[in-house]
Chain A
């Protein structure tokens, strides 16, 4: 991975703790390295079915998950690799799942669209658009009943806000003041369709008004903007203040899945968004604040690549599942 950027001479003060910024940078680089491998793995026939890259959306995943605690819940979408990595999932076991190996998170049964890591509250990617909304609301109800103090954050795309479940669960969560964060990742595309073609309002955060809950629109290319919004929503949820809706505006750099011809958009559009690239932006910020040298930033990105190399090696060396395991875990 190459990360370009300009550094200035004078340190620029940053209100966020240096260690947090560095860790978020490290994690975002790891997501990008992971996702950048997908298309080659698909072409080589190592990945079956559909896999969806979240390149360009790393700041949303990391800004949100770093504002949560390990015990908090997240639910994800079909485009869920970044969410899992941001929440702290092991890229080795993720890669093994993509390759359909017995050592994968789902022992080869789930694949790209169904990676889950319950040990850190990652309640799963989901192949049904809007499928995670109900699950997150249920987790929020459970944590509210158990008074566990856990928050449930639901990642969903802008394409999911027209599913009926969004209205049904948003209403109940608001009514019962559940500790839920509805994080709408507006990456501009539901497959090939833009939100303005399918949604009657342009400011999606206005949907919050229908539930009587706070609605925010943040720059999803800026990791601290997402971090701050989710931190506020989490604090409010933990105090019994109920759910919040956050629209994080970002851009899906790649196609809907590996193999998308992308005929519905121009290359220039992607280039415009790349000007605001969340990883480059954070790198520049770290370097400008003298929290890191340009070289250290590059080393860090290199280490992310090496980690993914290891993960791939681990996955390739792992056994395929025994066919008999197809019949395990149908019932507890």
Chain B
């Protein structure tokens, strides 16, 4: 039987449904999660869950991001496994207090007495003109805070497997989806599986340059890799899948073979995780580098509305191609 193909959004929905069936402590909470559109969730992730599990376990909330996350934190500390949703990642700043000062700290500062099995799902990325307050990629903010795990699935398979792992984890997990990926399809097996955190995937093998990218930018890099391959340039494209914990070994091992590193993310370059991975390689594989590490990232500006402007601030295939060629000149 051929493997079935489902969307990223449906894969996430299945993960929620299966975990809610498996563990009665798992519940979902957020704005518009029960009714909106075709039965829940602006991107359909919580579709029809309210029908199966009832409003007690699929809680439609007021527009109160700080409250939603704060309630989630405390429900987690007292034995539940909440999966809270923020409709857009741009609303994370509204909820930073309970996330950064509470969820990330409670266990540590109470000497290990508490555990916070909270999943905070939201999304990143520009998607067709949503402009400055609905397009940001803020994963590097989260990566900076000790005490939080951070997953960013790129495919439907990863979306399902990583979300199940996130829900079963006893720590706060920020689970960042990407708006452009919700309706992309990919193979997802019928049978149960989970994906451990901290295991990168080599999406494409190559000898010339190691490329690290995730989500929408991963697919852009893979496209560039296909084109360059026709010229005999072989990129090795790595998808870390989780930034915390980070699979350092896979990246280091690859750089030791290719001797060149390019990192691409959609988030603004300054202070972004590309710098973190670049520094990691400098510390652990400096002797193996034949060229300076290159970053191709979002520009250090807010995301603008008009298409000509939006395109100008997000890494393009042309920029990536030029950066790869430049790296090979060394």
A residues lining the B interface (CB < 8 Å): 47-50, 97, 100-101, 106, 108-111, 113-114, 126-131, 159-160, 162-164, 190-193, 197-199, 261, 263-264, 320-327, 330
CA distance A55 to B31 in the complex (A): 24
Give chain B's interface secondary structure class.
loop
**Tally of contact residues, B, Cβ under 8 A:** 38
CA distance A327 to B305 in the complex (A): 13
- Does B6 sit at the interface, judged by CB under 8 A? no
Query: Chain A contacts of B128 at CB under 8 A?
Result: 48-49
Give chain A's interface secondary structure class.
loop
- 17 contacts across the A-B interface (CB closer than 8 A): A48-B129, A109-B302, A109-B309, A110-B131, A110-B304, A127-B131, A127-B134, A162-B67, A163-B64, A191-B31, A192-B36, A193-B32, A197-B60, A198-B61, A325-B309, A326-B301, A326-B313
- Does B228 sit at the interface, judged by CB under 8 A? no
- Does B132 sit at the interface, judged by CB under 8 A? yes
Using A49-B129, A191-B36, A192-B32 as known contacts, say yes or no to A198 and B309 having CB atoms under 8 A apart.
no
- Does B288 sit at the interface, judged by CB under 8 A? no
Query: Chain A contacts of B67 at CB under 8 A?
Result: 162, 164
- Does B43 sit at the interface, judged by CB under 8 A? no
A53 to B: closest C-beta gap in Å:
17
- Does B308 sit at the interface, judged by CB under 8 A? yes
- Inter-chain contact B305/A110, CB cutoff 8 Å: yes
B residues lining the A interface (CB < 8 Å): 31-32, 35-38, 60-67, 90-91, 94, 128-134, 299-302, 304-313
Q: Which 7 A-B pairs have the closest CB atoms?
A: A48-B129, A100-B306, A111-B305, A127-B133, A108-B306, A49-B129, A162-B62
Most buried by B among A97, A100, A190, A330: A100
- Inter-chain contact A48/B312, CB cutoff 8 Å: no
Using A100-B305, A326-B299 as known contacts, say yes or no to A49 and B130 having CB atoms under 8 A apart.
yes
CA distance A47 to B130 in the complex (A): 10
Using A113-B131, A129-B63, A130-B63 as known contacts, say yes or no to A264 and B35 having CB atoms under 8 A apart.
yes
**Of B60, B305, B308, B311, which one neighbours A106 at CB under 8 angstroms?**
B305
- Inter-chain contact A326/B309, CB cutoff 8 Å: yes
Query: Chain A contacts of B66 at CB under 8 A?
Result: 163-164
- Inter-chain contact A162/B35, CB cutoff 8 Å: no
B1 to A: closest C-beta gap in Å:
34
- Inter-chain contact B312/A164, CB cutoff 8 Å: no
Query: Chain B contacts of A127 at CB under 8 A?
Result: 90, 131-134
Residue on B with the closest CB to A327? B301
- Inter-chain contact B299/A327, CB cutoff 8 Å: yes
CA distance A135 to B66 in the complex (A): 18
CA distance A164 to B91 in the complex (A): 13
- Inter-chain contact A108/B309, CB cutoff 8 Å: yes
- Inter-chain contact B134/A110, CB cutoff 8 Å: no
Query: Chain A contacts of B309 at CB under 8 A?
Result: 100, 108-109, 321, 323, 325-326
